[in-house]
Structure 1
Amino acid sequence: MTPVGTDLADRVLGGWLGRIAGNMLGKPVERGDVWTRERIDRYLRQASALPLTDYLPEPATESDALDLRPEWRQCVRGRIHGSCRDDDVDYAVLGLDLLETHGFGFSTEQVGDQWLLRLPYLQTFTAERAAYRNLAGGLKPPLTATYDNPYQEWIGALIRADVYGWTSPGVPRRAASLARRDAVLSHTGNGVYGAMWAAALISAAFTAPTVRHALDTALTVIPASSRLARTVRRVISLHETRLSWEETLDAVSEETAGLGWIHTVPNAGVITAGLLYGDGDFTRTIALTVRGGLDTDSNGATAGSVAGVLTGAEAIPARWKDPLEDTVRSAVFGFDGVRISELAERTLRLAEAEAA
């Protein structure tokens, strides 16, 4: 059954807070070709910040400071005053606006129209930028995803999926269907499956007794033979054999070598490992996920969203919530400075209206 009432409100807010906190945690080291797992942990050791239980510490060396994302000064502990602007949060905001504007029967063409109306071109990247350019040139979906777009299986569609999970609590197939309709604007293959998987995973987290149950449910909405499904199952099986988190990621990294650090498949492996080894603990989940490397801010955001839904906002430690000051910075026109609590209330209204 779909949960209702105050518990649902707390879980939706938990999803928003988790996504934003996880994104902020991973943002300074969001360069997977530079910030490997080993280098992230070396950075943390130098600052006596292992185990990681808070936002990243300031860099201990000048070379580290130069290699961090330039936004690090607004994203490290002690310097955070509201969320940093980031596409991982912008797309959640944009998805909410899409559902409020067009309802759950939206078309892929309307997703494109919303981008052109609300999202600045220079705040899009990889597959989204290719699709945006194709839209501006007059192309229609699905050509917007395939024409001159070498990024079709990268992680962009996955990071757009959360709102479909939040507004379909306990209804993972509906969440996946909504995410697919959005994803095919810019992605194909595993890029689309990643969005469907993430939306179903977040939806399932509202009613699943454990994170493993949510992961098992999410696998049912994508082709079992897809590389994404095989990689997620591989992480689950390695976890079951009681391998360490490091050993599991070593194995998956070897098996997905060559796909690149922004491809959906290896990043889904990192997210899955963070969720399983985090075992329902919010802090441990986002810390392990970000320490896993690759697209750290996107992975931290998705794992944080799942963990936030599982625990609810009330149970997220204050050290993650308080620095956000209930404020979102966003490039989406009309939303900069909006309250996180307001976004959660609007999301809840959509979820309850659709369930009624």
Structure 2
Amino acid sequence: MAGCTLGAIVEGWSIESMQEWANFIGDPFPPVDYWSQAKDPSNIRYGKSSNYAYTRNGMSGVPVDDDITYTLLGLLIVEEYGKDFTTQDVAKAWKKYLPIACTAEDIALKNIKAGISPYQAADHDNPYCQWIGASIRSDPWAYMAPGYPEKAAEMAYRDAYLSHRRNGIYGEMFFSAAQAAAFEVDNCIDTIKIGLTEIPSDCFLAQAVRWALEEAKNIKDYRDARQAVDDRFKGMSSVHTINNACLTIFGLIIGGTDVTKVLSQTVAMGLDNDCTAATAGSIVGAIVGKSGIPEHWYKSFNNTIYTYMNGVEVFRIDDVINRFARQAEIILEF
């Protein structure tokens, strides 16, 4: 939630734009805390939270974002349909809880509402099927299968199939497996290598991940990372699965187990930087645990998460943690 919230109000900004904004408001860049001010502070995101709510002094609870909403929706899916939920169950949950969606998710939601089978919803009029939308939904499966990457990836597949294909699906599987592994290893490189074992070895995403692991020796900071990715993936959408996955990996390797450095460097890289920082934060957070996370990243969450889901707009963090843990107990009873 910290990485997502830090990146949310500069989502998609260029490095230069973020640097200029930081200079203008007197914040350090890369950011080492939440932004002190937001552009257009009264602008409302997802019809719920103002930009001001994402700032250091304006935050009172975790403000809305689709990354966080899908993490909670994954929990609701397993609570309501069990650990053996199907892609059809995912579709039912989307129709019940999601008033809005973006890109591939928007297409899939419209298609299932139009009567198209959940197993074909990603195939109709969907130019976004390899974009990052599935990858941002990777977290809940890992939280419910900690230390069990195979199971996390398998649940991620069933979820991703509703809206994505090929590398779009593999992105969710890869990061779910990496996040699950993060509960049992002590460094991010091991999580990435374990994540690779759960996707086809010859897919474009796997090739890109192996390139990123090798290229990391030449990456010193966020500027190097962004330049390497821009050079490698010229013309690729800024919200594609593959280029953003590489930035996430670079952020993790640059930052190691320093949570602030991971989030700071990943957001500073740009592209879909609320998504990449959320995923990087999920992995490093699982490695270091709460004791390894500086308090300023969560003290203003006030045990509260806001979402835009129908009928469930407010969650309590301690309750969410207990519910994820309960499902993990059920799933790990194999």
TM over 0.5: yes
Correspondence for 1:83 among 33, 57, 62: 62
Could you tell me how far apart the structure 2 residues matched to 1:334 and 1:352 are?
Answer: 27
Q: 1:276 aligns with which of 245, 248, 253?
A: 253
Rate the CA distance shift 1:161–1:51 in 2: closer, same or farther, 3 A. Answer: closer
Contact (CA 8 Å) 2:152, 2:176: kept in 1 or not?
A: yes
Equivalent pair of 2:220/2:254 in contact (CA under 8 Å): no
Q: CA deviation at 1:161?
A: 1.4
Q: CA deviation at 1:243?
A: 4.8
Alignment coverage as a number of residue pairs: 328
Structure 1 residue 52: deviation in Å? 2.1
Aligned in 2, Cα 1:353/1:72: closer, same or farther, shift over 3 Å? same
Contact 1:22 1:300 (C-alpha < 8 Å) held by counterparts? yes
One-letter amino acid matched to 1:23 = C
Determine helix, strand or coil for the equivalent of 1:328: strand
Structure 2, unmatched stretches of 5+, are none
2:116 partner SS: coil
1:173 aligns with 150
Of residues 38, 51, 72, the one that matches 2:16 is 38
Q: Does structure 1 retain, via aligned residues, the 8 Å contact 2:161–2:169?
A: yes
Q: Matched residue of 1:249: which SS? A: helix
Q: What is the aligned counterpart of 1:350 among 323, 327, 331?
A: 327
Counterparts of 2:127 and 2:325 in 1: how far apart (Å)?
36
1:22 lines up with 2:14 in the alignment: no
Structure with the higher fraction of residues in helix conformation? 1
Equivalent position amino acid for 2:2 in 1:
A
Asked which structure has the greater RCO (Cα within 8 Å, sep 6+), the reply is 1
Check conservation: 2:146, 2:180, Cα contact below 8 A: yes
**1:235: how far off?**
1.7
Deviation per CA, 1:276-317, whole angstroms, max 9, x where unpaired? 101011111111111110111111211111121111123211
Does the CA contact (< 8 Å) of 2:304 and 2:317 recur in 1?
Answer: yes
- Taking structure 1 as the reference length, what is the TM-score of the superposition? 0.88
Q: What's the secondary structure of 1:266's corresponding residue?
A: helix
1:56 is paired with a residue whose SS is coil
**2:172 maps to which residue?**
195
Alignment of 1:1-356 (within 5 A): 20-30=1-11, 32=12, 35-46=13-24, 47-59=26-38, 65=40, 71-120=50-99, 123-241=100-218, 243-356=220-333
Could you tell me how far 1:245 is from its partner in structure 2? Answer: 4.3
Contact 1:28 1:69 in 2 (8 A): no
- How far the C-alpha of 1:44 sits from its partner, in A, is 2.3
Identity rate, percent:
35
TM value normalised by structure 2:
0.93
For residues 209 and 26 of structure 1, what CA distance do their matches in structure 2 show?
25
Contact 1:127 1:145 (8 Å CA) reproduced: yes
SS at match of 2:206: helix
- Is the Cα contact below 8 Å between 1:145 and 1:188 reproduced in 2? yes
